[in-house]
Amino acid sequence: MAKLIDGKAISVQIKDECREKVAQMKAEGVEVTLAVIQVGNDPASTVYVGNKKKACEYIGIRSLAYELPEDTTEEKLLELIGELNARKDVNGILVQLPLPKHINEEKVLDAIHPSKDVDGFHPQNVGALCIGKPGFVSCTPAGIIQLLKRSGIEIAGKECVVIGRSNIVGKPMALLLLRENGTVTVTHSRTKDLKEVTRRADILVVAIGKPKMITADYVKEGAVVIDVGIHRNENNKLCGDVDFESVEPHCSAITPVPGGVGPMTIAMLMNNCVESVALQK
C-alpha cells in the first residue's frame, strides 16, 4: 500500500503558519493586501477566485476584489494594473486566467510589477527562479515541493521525471526539482517512448491534462507519483491524470485527486502574499 500524500492537511499547516505570520505583522502595524482581478464570469474562475478570497479571510490578508465585465478592454485592464502597481497599500496582484480572447494574456501578466506578482508568472520571476535568485515561484509547483519535503521524501540525487512543459507547472517544476538537486527530465507530447522515460523516475510529476492517462505500466515499482491533473469523469466524479487504482499499488507514495496537489496552490499563493511584504522592502 502506498502512503497517501495528504495535500489537504499539509495545505492547512502552511495556511496556519501564514496566519501566525500575518497576526505578527498586524501586531507590528503591517497589513497584507491582495488584489484579485477577474474579467468576465467563467464559472470555474468564479469558484477559484471565491476560494482565494476565503483563504485570505482565514489568514487575515485583506483582499480587494475587482470583478470586471467580459467586454472590459485590454487598455482598461492595463490601466487598473498600473494603479494597483503604484499603490503602496497593495502587496499582491493576481489576474485570474483565462482572460477573454480579445485580451492579450502575456501583455497583462507582464504589466504586473514583479514585486507584486504573487502568481510568479512574470518573466523576471521566472528568470530569477532559473538562476537561483529570490523571487515569486509559481504556486502549484512550489506546493509540490512542499508536499514532498513535508512528507519526508528526499529529492537530492533522485531521478525526477516531469510530464508536461507548461509555463505554469511543467517548466517551473523542473527548475524547482533541479534546485533541490534532483536529476530532472522533462517529457511532453513529442517525447518518444514516454513509458521508457517515466519508468526511470523515482519521483514522477504528472501534468498532462488527460484524465487517467498514466497507468501502472508508466511507473517504476516504489516510485513517488504526484498528480497535478483535475478532471470530472463520466460519473461527474473528480479524477486526475493518473489512473489511481492501477498505479497506487506500485508506488511508495502518491497524491490523491481530490485532496493532493489541488489545495496546495492556494496555500502557496497565501505564502507568496506573506513573503511579498519582505520582498517589497
Nearer to ligand GUN by Cβ, of 6 and 119: the residue is 119
Nearer to ligand GUN by Cβ, of 85 and 246: the residue is 85
Rounded Cα–Cα distance for residues 147 and 227 (Å): 12
Sort 40 into a burial class: Cβ within 10 Å, 0-12 / 13-18 / 19+: middle
Sort 246 into a burial class: Cβ within 10 Å, 0-12 / 13-18 / 19+: middle
Sort 11 into a burial class: Cβ within 10 Å, 0-12 / 13-18 / 19+: buried
Nearer to ligand GUN by Cβ, of 174 and 253: the residue is 174
Is 15 noted as a catalytic residue in this protein? Answer: no
Least spacing, CB of residue 152 vs ligand GUN, in Å: 27
Rounded Cα–Cα distance for residues 252 and 222 (Å): 5
Least spacing, CB of residue 94 vs ligand GUN, in Å: 5
Nearer to ligand GUN by Cβ, of 35 and 219: the residue is 35
**Number of residues that this document lists for the chain:** 281
Is 96 noted as a catalytic residue in this protein? Answer: yes
Nearest to 211 by CA among 226, 190, 229: 229
Residue tagged active-site, from 96, 171, 241, 243: 96
Provide the grid cell at 23.
Answer: 497576526
Least spacing, CB of residue 186 vs ligand GUN, in Å: 20
| E strands present in 126-237 | 159-163, 183-187, 203-206, 223-227, 231-232
Least spacing, CB of residue 119 vs ligand GUN, in Å: 5
Nearer to ligand GUN by Cβ, of 97 and 238: the residue is 97
Sequence-ordered list of residues with C-beta below 8 angstroms from that of 143, at least 6 positions apart, any chain:
7, 11, 261, 264, 265, 267, 268
Rounded Cα–Cα distance for residues 215 and 121 (Å): 31
Least spacing, CB of residue 36 vs ligand GUN, in Å: 9
Nearer to ligand GUN by Cβ, of 39 and 242: the residue is 39
Rounded Cα–Cα distance for residues 77 and 100 (Å): 12
Rounded Cα–Cα distance for residues 84 and 87 (Å): 5
Least spacing, CB of residue 25 vs ligand GUN, in Å: 24
Residue tagged active-site, from 52, 116, 171, 220: 52
- What is the contact surface with ligand GUN in residues (CB under 6 A)? 94-97, 119, 139, 265
**Residue facing ligand GUN at closest CB distance:** 97
Residue tagged active-site, from 6, 119, 202, 227: 119
**Which residues participate in catalysis according to the annotation?**
52, 96, 119
